Amino acid sequence: MSAHQDYIEIAGHKWFTTIHRTMSFWHQCLSAYGQYHHAKDFGVNAGLIQLAIISDGINTDLFHYKENEYIYNKAVLKALNSKGKVKALHDRYKRFAKELIDSLNRCNKKLNESNLRDFMRKYRLFCAGLHLTTTIGRQGADLLSEELRKLGADDSEIPKIISSITYPLHHTPLFNSQLDLLKIAMDIQKKKIKQKQADSRLNGWLDKHGPIPINFCGNPWNFEDAENQLKYALKKDCAKEIKSFGIIHKDKLKNAKNTLKTLNNPRVTLLSYILSEGTYLNEYRKNVFSRVSLEFRPMFKKIAGMSGSEDWRDCFYLKPEEFIDIIKGKKISLNNIKHERKIAGLVMGKDGELELLSQGDVQMVMDYLNEMHGRSGSAPRISESYVRGFAASRGIITGKAKIILNTNDFGKLEAGDILITTMTSVDFIPVMEKVAAFVTNEGGITCHASIVSREMNKPCVIGTKIATKIFKDGDLVEVDADKGIVRKIK
């Protein structure tokens, strides 16, 4: 394989890597099927085809091929070419989420084949909304940039304008969790509540916000996590912080409204609305999956137990139909399956059914990923001193770079560091408050880092593609999120 090749050839297509996420083999079986077959349920008349490699049951790398992605992207934009269609999409997310949660509740009350099949149908349907919001962010931002250029906007100003006019009306679950925590801390500072009352309110806070960092496979916040976040909040003037958040939010909404009024362009107004709604829906569906991923664990524990395992996470290695086999009494060895699927691959076949990749193809993809990420020793660190990306949230700041590739790296972060990663997700939430800025390889205006940075009012540059390869831990870097440039100072 060429050291410069940025794709892998399998099943007659050139596959380009898109994201790495912590998602299970079980989830990806349902997700790949859903994103191909159920896009139409979200109003999109084209299915997305994915190739996935999953290691250790939960570490997933996704690939798309460009011909299909082009057709899918075009269909998404067509599905959202009016305000009415965007509102209809919003309603679909809400309806499908409720149906998914209701079906899971029925499973938890009575685990049988009918209820389990219904839950997995609803799960794979809701999965069709996963990549949809990502496409809205990337394709919508490109179209909006084109329209702004037509109006005479300079390229250097376009990210600032887009960041402003797409600021979402509604707060994300993360922001609301931090706001609620500040309110508890404020009452402690004002001596309105004592320790026993504070503990009670923290437990209520956990009931409401505890699932946020789960995503698909993570752990919910526990009481110790809540206490640590509260201690960090108590270092601030919480009343002042709450007031400041409110003022900043109102100012950003006012600025968005005034900018759109000045531009006075219906196309720009529609695209900004699409992106704003896409931003909200992106975080909304994450919160739904986090909550569902917590609530299905008792059911997974039962199913694992039926196969002689005490670890509910072993179910992550199963195909959806193997869940059905187990509750019907078929003897399945989870230990054998874990061994067989330590590294597994799947792709949507020509007949619309999922196919497992051969071990030869799986190994070829793993060799490609190892080379691409520099794990094979054949891909040295790129000798550049800066990267360019999209300025998602403005500001200029200097700090020490910390390369964060997964949650195991969180311990490296100190207050004031620059967080550099492939992409943030909800499991990054505990550390995002203390860093000075965010820099990502991936992402569009609706991505997690973009949303959180604007709510936290922190500099953020997204979509740099190679920031994690350019910088190393301890580099002194300047994040110029006014211009979308991150450079090494020393």
3-state secondary structure of 29: helix
426 compared with 486, residue with greater pLDDT: 486
Q: What is the CA radius of gyration of the chain?
A: 23
Q: How confident is the model at residue 84, as a pLDDT? A: 97
* 34/102 same-domain check: yes
Tokens of 236: 């601030």
Q: Could you give the maximum distance between any two Cα atoms of the chain, in Å?
A: 67
Q: How confident is the model at residue 199, as a pLDDT? A: 95
* 366/425 same-domain check: no
Nearest to 180 by CA among 240, 244, 238, 249: 238
Return d(Cα 325, Cα 122) in angstroms, integer: 19
Decide if 267 is inside a domain: no
3-state secondary structure of 484: coil
* 367/400 same-domain check: no
The 10s digit of each residue's pLDDT in 280-334 is 999 899 999 999 999 999 999 999 999 999 999 999 999 999 999 999 999 999 9
The 10s digit of each residue's pLDDT in 455-475 is 888 999 998 988 988 899 999
Q: How confident is the model at residue 168, as a pLDDT? A: 87
Question: What single DSSP character describes residue 93?
Answer: H
Predicted confidence band of residue 382 (pLDDT cuts 50, 70, 90) = low
The 10s digit of each residue's pLDDT in 245-294 is 999 999 999 999 999 999 999 999 999 999 999 999 998 999 999 999 99
Decide if 252 is inside a domain: no
Residue 241 reports pLDDT greater than 60 = yes
Tokens of 183: 């309110």
In the sheet that 476-480 helps form, which strands lie side by side, from edge to edge? Answer: 386-388, 485-488, 476-480, 396-403, 418-421, 437-440, 460-462, 390-393
Q: How confident is the model at residue 215, as a pLDDT? A: 87
* 60/109 same-domain check: yes
**C-beta of residue 24 within 8 angstroms of C-beta of residue 316:** yes
The overall average pLDDT reported for the chain is 92
Q: How confident is the model at residue 243, as a pLDDT? A: 95
Nearest to 478 by CA among 461, 456, 457: 461
Last residue of a domain, one of 316, 344, 372: 372
Q: How confident is the model at residue 379, as a pLDDT? A: 47
Q: How confident is the model at residue 408, as a pLDDT? A: 81
Q: How confident is the model at residue 452, as a pLDDT? A: 86
Q: How confident is the model at residue 446, as a pLDDT? A: 77
Decide if 1 is inside a domain: no
* 92/27 same-domain check: yes
- Reduced to 3 DSSP states, what percent helix, strand and coil does the chain have, rounded to the nearest 5? 55, 15, 30
Q: How confident is the model at residue 378, as a pLDDT? A: 47
Decide if 315 is inside a domain: yes
Residue ranges making up the domain that contains 181: 173-247
* 97/214 same-domain check: no
Nearest to 246 by CA among 428, 457, 449: 457
Residues 230-244, mean pLDDT to the nearest whole number: 93
**C-beta of residue 163 within 8 angstroms of C-beta of residue 443:** no
* 354/407 same-domain check: no
What DSSP line would sit under 246-309, residue for residue? HHHHHHHHHHHHHHHHHH--HHHHHHHHHHHHHHHHHHHHHHHHHHHHHHTHHHHHHHHHHTT-
Residues 113-132, mean pLDDT to the nearest whole number: 98
CA of 77: how far to CAs of 28, 46, 80, 86, 269, in Å? Answer: 25, 11, 5, 10, 15
> What's this model's pTM, rounded to 2 decimal places?
0.88
* 28/110 same-domain check: yes
Count of the separate structural domains present in the chain? 3
* 445/357 same-domain check: no
**113-130 burial, b if ≥16 CB within 10 A, otherwise e?**
eebbbbbbbbbbbbbbbb
Q: How confident is the model at residue 383, as a pLDDT? A: 60
Decide if 437 is inside a domain: yes
Tokens of 57: 């049951």
Residues 226-253, mean pLDDT to the nearest whole number: 93
Residues 4-29, mean pLDDT to the nearest whole number: 89
Return d(Cα 357, Cα 362) in angstroms, integer: 6
Last residue of a domain, one of 337, 372, 407: 372
Q: How confident is the model at residue 375, as a pLDDT? A: 54
* 353/408 same-domain check: no
Q: How confident is the model at residue 425, as a pLDDT? A: 80
CATH number at residue 446: 3.50.30.10
Predicted confidence band of residue 373 (pLDDT cuts 50, 70, 90) = low
Return d(Cα 211, Cα 216) in angstroms, integer: 10
Residues 368-374, mean pLDDT to the nearest whole number: 76
Decide if 258 is inside a domain: no
Return d(Cα 168, Cα 175) in angstroms, integer: 12
* 357/407 same-domain check: no
Decide if 33 is inside a domain: yes
68-77, 385-394, 425-434: least confidently modelled range: 425-434
* 359/439 same-domain check: no
Last residue of a domain, one of 343, 372, 401: 372
The 10s digit of each residue's pLDDT in 133-191 is 999 998 999 999 999 999 999 988 999 899 999 998 888 888 899 999 999 999 999 99
Decide if 159 is inside a domain: no
Residues 7-33, mean pLDDT to the nearest whole number: 93
Strand partners, 462: 390
pLDDT cut 90: percent of the chain above it: 75
Q: How confident is the model at residue 381, as a pLDDT? A: 53
**366-377 burial, b if ≥16 CB within 10 A, otherwise e?**
bebbebbbeeee
